[in-house]
Amino acid sequence: MGRPLLLNGLRARVSRWPPLRLVRLRRERESVGVVPSQRFPNHFESGREASMVRYIGMDVHREFAQLAVVEDGLVRDEGRIGVTPEALREWATGLGVDDHVALEATGNSDAIANLLTPLVARVVVSNPSKTRAIAEAKVKTDKVDARILAQLLAADFLPPVWLPDERTRSLRRQVSRRAHIVRTRTRIKNQIHAILARNLCPTPPVSDLFGKTGRHWLLRQQLPPDEAATVTALLRQLDFHGTELALVDRELAIEALGDPVVARLMTIPGVDAIAGISIVAAVGDFTRFDDPDKLVAYLGLNPRVRQSGNSAPVHGRISKTGRAHTRGVLVEAAWSATHAPGPLRAFYRRVHDRRGFAKAVVATARKLTILAWHLAVKDQDYAFARPSLVAHKVRKLELAAGAPPDEATTEPTSRLQRQDAPRPGGPNGRTGRARLPGDGRPLAAPRTSLPTQQPLTISSVV
């Protein structure tokens, strides 16, 4: 017959194996009744009773975490624990190898998940925006949130997020640090321009106000004593952040120089080393996406769709989910790519003529994202890459990583530079702009490293 499972401590119910995945889910307090998931059974197939699997929900805060446990169909509160490493290790000594832990994604969830992962069967970091039972609960307290997390985990109904490896986490932190420094420098420059504007100073005669010539002109302007002191202080801050930016750029350049995926992405016009390492940091492992459309949705470049019943689907603006900084990097790279001859520019012009500038740039960014997925997964260079431009990017990257200015490149980073012969541009053998298919001339010389693969064209990713 099975064994009775007590739901909410009020009534008993007899369940046969395999149990239901989810009996009932409502948003009122203590109304989520859960039967353990079939994926994690509590008994051996032979009928011998094994140790019960515990599903632990953690509502994590800055200084503590509220705990709730689902065991043998019962939900109970386990109080609070500190979120310091010592307190978490002390609490983890009571965990079993069959236990499952769930917590919502927050600022310190990665550190907690890393500490608990080797000690339990599974750690699930849930996506808060998709945990509707918590976000839309009528009664929302720490205890209720922890209980709902534990019950959803027991029902295998918790939407998880991908946990990156340590290198990806480090790259994300470095990219975020660089973005913060760049924003700070921009804010400082805007403050100096505002000082000049409110004191009726003329427009600077140079393109770079903060270069050597521009600063010489800036110091000759007649400003009130307090404004002059402010400009001097802002210039000192600008110099400090410029030094910090150079250090971060060097660290990122060293990482990018040894990354084959970044070398692939740099063959795309508009994508330099910083853009490539930013994309790699945001995506991590490209192969975790089955198709490029899922990567587009992950980065928030897919349009919203509304459809119900017999009505036609309505497509809206892009979803803007995921990392906003990476989306901005892709849009900037797409805008730069539209200035270089090639299929990306042709695609941009076609969309621009029909939909305008803004939609054309975003559509090109989406196309660039699809192209990046194909290059990374299929381990190919861009078919319409310009070897001279790629060599310039690689040399610039080497200099940023600390290579001496007079040292020649000894080992090319991109496979595009490992060709046996230069790219033929015509019967006379001159190198030049890549030609579109159909003119009777090859796009690139044969590759010795990838003899069975064909260069990836823009038509293959449409």
Q: From the centroid of its chain, how far is CA 250?
A: 21
Distance between CA atoms of 369 and 82, rounded to whole angstroms? 42
Rounded to 5 degrees, what angle do the CA atoms 276, 280, 286 make?
125
DSSP state of 322: S
What average pLDDT does this structure show over 137-149? 88
pLDDT at position 261 is: 96
pLDDT at position 59 is: 94
The identity of residue 170, as a single letter, is S
Letter string b/e over residues 101-133, b meaning 16 or more CB atoms within 10 A of that residue's CB = bbbbbeeebbebbeebeebbeebbbbeeeebeb
- With beta carbons less than 8 A apart as the criterion, state whether 100 and 153 touch: yes
Q: Which of 304-313, 426-435, 440-449 has the highest mean pLDDT?
A: 304-313
Partner residues linked to 74 by β-bridges? 71
Q: From the centroid of its chain, how far is CA 306?
A: 26
Each residue's pLDDT tens digit, 38-91:
444 443 333 334 457 899 999 999 999 999 999 988 999 999 999 999 999 999
pLDDT at position 135 is: 65
- With beta carbons less than 8 A apart as the criterion, state whether 101 and 87 touch: no
Q: Which residue is associated with the tokens 């534990």?
A: 150
What average pLDDT does this structure show over 178-201? 97
Distance between CA atoms of 193 and 418, rounded to whole angstroms? 47
Paired tokens of 26: 């409502």
DSSP state string for 393-426? HHHHHHHHTT--TTPPP-S-SSGGGG-SSPPP-S
130 or 256: which leads in pLDDT: 256
Paired tokens of 132: 């509707």
Q: Where are the domains of the chain?
A: 3-154, 166-257, 261-403+413-461
Q: Which residues contact 284 (CB under 8 A, 6 or more apart)?
A: 162, 164, 165, 168
Distance between CA atoms of 34 and 20, rounded to whole angstroms? 9
pLDDT at position 378 is: 94
Q: Which residues contact 232 (CB under 8 A, 6 or more apart)?
A: none
- With beta carbons less than 8 A apart as the criterion, state whether 368 and 269 touch: no
CB-based burial label for 2 (10 Å; 0-12, 13-18, 19+): exposed
What is the fold, at CATH topology level, of the domain defined by 3-154? Nucleotidyltransferase; domain 5 (3.30.420)
Partner residues linked to 382 by β-bridges? 456
The identity of residue 64, as a single letter, is F
Residue (of 355, 373, 361) closest to 315 by Cα position: 355
Each residue's pLDDT tens digit, 390-426:
999 999 999 999 888 875 444 544 444 444 444 444 4
Q: Which residue is associated with the tokens 């305008």?
A: 356
What average pLDDT does this structure show over 102-126? 93
| Cα separations in angstroms, 345 against 265, 282, 333, 335, 352 | 17, 25, 12, 9, 10
Model confidence band, residue 456 (pLDDT cutoffs 50, 70, 90): low
Distance between CA atoms of 288 and 279, rounded to whole angstroms? 15
Tell me the angle at which helices 273-283 and 387-400 cross, rounded to the nearest 10 degrees.
80
303-306 and 3-7 beta bridge pairing: unpaired
Paired tokens of 109: 């969830």
Is the pLDDT assigned to residue 153 strictly greater than 80?
Answer: yes
Lowest mean pLDDT of 107-121, 189-203, 376-390, 439-453, name the range: 439-453
For the CA atoms of 13, 14, 16, 22, what is the dihedral angle to 10 degrees?
0
What average pLDDT does this structure show over 281-293? 95
Helix (H) or strand (E) holding 68: strand 64-71
Residue (of 279, 303, 277) closest to 289 by Cα position: 279
- With beta carbons less than 8 A apart as the criterion, state whether 152 and 24 touch: no
Is the pLDDT assigned to residue 142 strictly greater than 60?
Answer: yes
Task: Output the average pLDDT for the chain.
Answer: 82
Instruction: Report the chain's terminal Cα–Cα distance, integer Å.
Output: 56
Helix (H) or strand (E) holding 124: strand 122-126
Claim: this prediction has a pTM higher than 0.85: no
pLDDT at position 373 is: 97
Q: Which residues contact 276 (CB under 8 A, 6 or more apart)?
A: 256, 259, 261, 262, 263, 265, 266
- Percentage of the chain beyond pLDDT 90 is 66
- Percentage of the chain beyond pLDDT 70 is 76
pLDDT at position 51 is: 57
